[in-house]
Structure 1
């Protein structure tokens, strides 16, 4: 990025995007500037300020690069209009606009058209040829599609004539536009404007051409008047007086008349109104109109007409007041140098002087070539006020040398514009036989080729001996490369032609170039610099929407009316288009426009609308004050249409099936797949996909995975929307032979384990499988004999577990059991032993010495008696003591063992000693 200050310039024009479902609008753009610019946002001519709904942001994202944003919350209809962003710093200002239109709330937003709105890559510049008899205005524009180029001079469109020639050449999306003016005369001075326009937007730039009458010829017979600058309005400090100022050229001297539109007649001078004319250069006049003791009734549109025998020209000033009789947004005075700069020298001090007009006071910067001059020991910068808006600017150089020669520039800037004065300082060289310092003999030229792929900067100089040549840009030397070629060519004795060629130039190559030539006698430099004025045209009275454009359905949908309502001072021209094609009135289409004062009601009526009438309709509303576009999207819905039978694609190996059906519908329909009479719901196996293949046509798919015989059957699609439904033809999935997977080897885990079983109990044996498969075969064997299912032998197999159950086991059920599980090719086995459970042993009674009875206790005696039921009971037991009954079905050995145990326990409780078996039964 350049190390010197420069005016703001857009690198990305304003763009508009929506957030929060359209409730928030964001305008954003990018620019470069140094120093950081001040930003202002306008809607129409109203300066916006921040509030709860409106927020401004400016953020730096690189050296001298800024991201500028306007956020608009809770959007309402009245937010529509022309938005303008203005960026300015002390080096200049730039502005850009974007129009906000609303489409109907319930309609989709129009799709963005691909392409580029016109943007000036290189602003207009002026080149001279043929000793100044021909002028070439040239600029570079980036656009897609190709833009229409229009040139105008002092607001009058220039026609292609033998004296005015237009050329437009392109290289891809880059267009090189030129205007050639032959046989240049003084009447060609004034303001030139170039406008580039395509379907995506419009851009314009201006450049002013001013002459001294000595520089160009004046037609012998003279020329008609022309206003060369925009009129300026000033108000006195006390607010009582207002002065309009205009600059006009003409020969012979024009006469001037002033009118105010609300009176529609010529104003009489005298009293509160006065007019004066001052010639500040040959054929150039300053016209002033003064209103004294200004009143509210003085507001209105003023017109000044300049007239001589060759014709007339006019300029308009709009005067508005607020309630305090102050001018609304009073205009200042842009900087202007009304006279040629002068050079004088007294002793060792050289002075360059300029007269400057500006209001408010302008910032002044002096340059020598491309280098900024600052106050110091040798350079003094002075400014002296001559009047309220006129200043004498002086640059003093102490002890000047040949190195001080070259081009000096005085740059003046205020909020209303900028201007430059150029002064060439040449020192006389003492030519002698030995040599002389180099000097330029022609004005430097910049010459592009026809395609804009090569730019040549050319200078011619005299020097003895041959000079050393150095090209500079932004304080850096320009050296030869693949892109840049430098050449020094001898054209005559001591005369040289110096060229710098730039291949495939781009915006980054722009700027100020200096050609510095030197030899042992001195040095000289020439600057190739382009000064461009650009301004945004006023849209004060341009058309604006007073309500949002909308679509109305009438007579139960038999009529559709698209409506716009705009406000403008002049009747607009209306053009309706559909999908980019101009609409002509027919029996089906009718275009109307009615006016109520300055409000115009515009409509397009469509009879019996059909699907093919759907699309994007655009209404272009245009007059000389401005232009608007309304975008309306019309959608005509119909019942879905299914024209073809669904298509079936199967993959037997992967076990998948896909059924696809095409549905014609304006919007995405609701789709249901059915098998026979059952609605298919989406699962991990059934997936439904709907996608738009082109506008108004959808592909509806049913994808089935893990396909099996259970999926065989008839399928159909039902497509619905608000207008009705359509059902497809039936498609069947059937007769599919699936490949059998290779058999899996059976692996038993866990295996059988040895077990014991009680007589009369049940035996259960079970094994598991690592890879479950219900197709395996299972065999159970006992002692190598295959077991068959019966009432007592039960076999079970779930594919995961095999189980054998034997009920009411006997001694004969003991043995070796084996299970074998197999498929067609492989098998696995497991075996276990089954044994009869062992009977419990009768406990043995230990023999001990006879215990001594306890004192005070009698040793209990035990007597076994049999009751009527055949039971026996000890005589020392009563009914509250445990008893042991003996029935016929109880084995004697079991009873005996249990009885012994009980008796021993009771005896020990009463005596504290053991009872020996010999005491009861005697020794065996």
Structure 2
């Protein structure tokens, strides 16, 4: 089953009213969170307010998904008085709040303005399944004051209490936990659910979709047939050239439904551009398709597929959007399991397998009975791509045992949505002759004694071997105590009586109880509803806040006061905690409670606060009728401390220099680097980095890319916060990484020259390269013969100059000479002619 996420608007600041221009202009202002941006409407006494010369509307973004909403009213007149309401709405839901504008004297009647706040969703709806998917619970949490009315809708129709549908709302101060429970789930339960919460100050809505990503849900047990229901998210496909778009919807229905398509308010008919089909997918299931050829921009918008038969109708909605300036569908796909998961065994290996469609690649997590499964020696999880955006997900269990049985779930989530595939692993076979799963053989009973001091819940079940019995109240485990006894008694072969006894039952013991019986062959559950009439409520009231708890700083930060105001009767007891530990009074900490009628002013004073006084403070306020907790977070800032002298790190290949030092600070400090006396401004070459390495400590870096000679010099860091600043020691950047040159073909700049040499004299041949390269190979030739070094012939090469030296010239040295210089890129050469001349002998006198 898959869950579609929604983000409805919610108020973070209720409407407030202030005046400008000596009261001639009134401004109503509020703030809210919403994604996407909401549509705003204003009402006065239920009449919609329209923009004109006197009336202006504004909505301004002030952060991520946060907006300020303003109504300006110029040239105010008496008839502008009334109850103003602002309504914010997006595709995920809506919320509203009101404020009263009154010009009449105090003794005249006026429209009632109620204190409190409109409903907002503290926890968006989520789906939880139990009993192998046969029981579903939709759960959400709503904050509101006064109490809201909560209504659930399925495909636009209000859900009413029935044998299959249970609706509960549990109160916790100004928070309400709302649950819709569906028993014996079938495919007809698929669709869009909406929960509406409304009180006198406004209303809010949130939506969630229930989809069956395969044929995992049973069809209704009805001889007459099945009303059409779309069981999966519709799929949009686009041809590679972008010219054609196809919508596919899977629905169940008996008899086969007729399907009509519409675009906005216009019903579509078969034509050259629109092709419609309905094909049998499997028994009772059908695939409805709409293909649009030669798509144009005007094809964008909402499409609806309506399936009808004699038992009713179902609707699937699809939104077609193109990327800006093109006819391409945005590249994204929420996870979907198009086929039912499979289980197979290969020798000692058990393999669970699911086919998944999604883009981008989703995060995959496997669970067994809601416990996350990790890779280890026995379990292995894999994901293999089979086509574009399609994957096979496997969970392998080596040497499986009966303890591995249970409900498995494969969860896939990406930025476009989330989906789950459920697999029930039950071990059966030859051992079935030796046992069977538990089953209840009688309707569970609740039996009170005559005096009402003892209530017994009793169930009977058959099982082999004896089952493990667990009792629950709501979602909470029921354990044995002085008040509660739990027993299992054998009353016949493989037959057991299960009892839960509650001594001196009270109103708080009421609720839905569940008896879970389980053995190696399976499990079963029995539900019992215990209703106990509450005793008359005692007079008085539990503590409630009349002002929001706050922290005040006085005497230039030398005194911190934490205070809250509550209303309570009788007087409450107050306990202060810091980070979970009870605070004891001392010379440094004083606590006070002052009574004014039925109101109490509660304070904690902290003298000369230090960094170690930071933390989460909790004030527990409690009397016999209830309790409250005020949570206050105290953050003490200190002047930053630079722990050591900055160090220089060189990255030769990237020609990058990083200057780094460590700064101690409660929160991230503002950091500025200086070279000499000038600020180093951030750019592509100069990058600032501040990373928290541990609580209260940050690594501050200046990264200089493509370093140049001009970057040499003295650097220092200045780190500052509200308390002051710290300056680092100076570090000098002297050496910078040399630029790594690409090798180039050698070039001889000084070439060989012809020479005439006197016999027996020393002579040499010399060439020079235009660019130094020690990797070059130098070879000398006499004619076509390579010259080898001897006692009289030597060669040298220092990367720039190559020499061939003859210690004594002889006539046989007369020849043509050549030098070849070679590297990995290429070569160059030079040649000359050497002539050795005989020296004429002097005549003797």
* TM-score bin (small chain): 0.3 to 0.5
Max Rg structure: 1
Structure with higher RCO (Cα < 8 A, 6+ apart): 1
Higher relative strand content: 2
TM-score normalised according to structure 1 size? 0.40
TM-score normalised according to structure 2 size? 0.43
